[in-house]
Amino acid sequence: MRILIVEDEPDLLQALSRALRDEGYAVDTAAEGEDGFYKAETYDYDAIVLDVMLPKLDGWEILRRLRKIKKTPVLMLTAKDQSRDRVKGLDTGADDYVVKPFDLNELFARLRALIRRSANKTTNVIEINGVKIDTAARNVLHAGKPVELTAREYALVEFMALHRGEVITRTALYEHLFDEDDSTLSNLLDVHVSNVRKKLGAEFITTRRGHGYCIE
C-alpha cells in the first residue's frame, strides 16, 4: 500500500513516514502544498495524510482540487480542534479527520479503515481459498498456520486481496507497492510474486499474459 504524507513540520513528517514504512507501507512525502497536490494528482495512492496549514497551497485547496479528479481516501491532519474545521474538512471531501497531537496506533487504524472502505470491504479479515488475511493484525494464515511474509510481500497480498477478481497491471502494482525512491526498472515485483506463490500456493496469484496479475 502506498501512502502520501503532506506535512510541513519536518520532525512530524519524518516521524510519520518512518513509522508508516516500519508498518510496511510505501511512503511518499511533500513538505508544501503545491508539491503535495502535484503528487496526489500524478500518482494513485491508497490513502493521503493531509495537513491543513501548509505553505503555498493549504490543505483545503488541495482537497478541493483533488476531489474534482480523484476519489483517493484523505485523512486530514491538523492542530485545529474546532467543530467548524472538522465540518469544513468533511464537507470539502475528507474521509476522516485527526487532531494533533494524535496516537499513532489510532492513525494507523483509521488509515486501514479508509483503505478497506475504498475497496468496499467491511471487515478486517479476508478469506481466499484457505488463506486468511487479517488487515488489522497484518498477518496471514494458510490452512490455519501462520505464514511469514516480508513487509513488501504482505503489501502485495493485501492489495491484491482487496481487489480480488480484478486484473491488476504490473504498472498499477508498482505504483501501489513502491514509493518514489524505489527503482521500478528492477525485477523486484517478479521476485515478490514468486515468493508469495511459494508460501501460499502456486495458484494463489495467477498471471494474465500481457495484462497483469489476479487473485481469482
Q: Taking 80 as the threshold, does the pLDDT of residue 79 lie above it? A: no
CB-count exposure of residue 8 (10 Å: 0-12, 13-18, 19+):
middle
pLDDT for the residue numbered 82: 67
- Tell me the C-alpha distance between 182 and 59, whole Å: 27
36 CA to centre of own chain? 16
CA distance 216 to 213: 9
β-pair partners for 61: none
* Pairing state between β 131-134 and 125-128: antiparallel
Q: What three-state secondary structure class fits 207?
A: strand
CA atoms within a 13 Å half-sphere pointing along the CA-CB vector of 125: 5
Q: What pLDDT score does 24 carry?
A: 85
Domains defined along the chain, listed by start = 2-118 (3.40.50.2300), 125-214 (1.10.10.10)
Q: Give the pTM.
A: 0.85
Grid coordinates representing 7 are 506535512
Predicted pLDDT of residue 184: 56
Cell output for 166: 480484478
For residue 185, pLDDT beyond 70: no
- The pLDDT tens digits of the residues spanning 20-75 come to 998 889 999 999 999 999 999 999 999 999 999 899 999 999 999 999 999 999 99
How many of the other CB atoms lie within 10 Å of CB of 82?
A: 10
Q: What is the pLDDT of residue 175?
A: 86
In eight-state DSSP terms, residue 43 is S
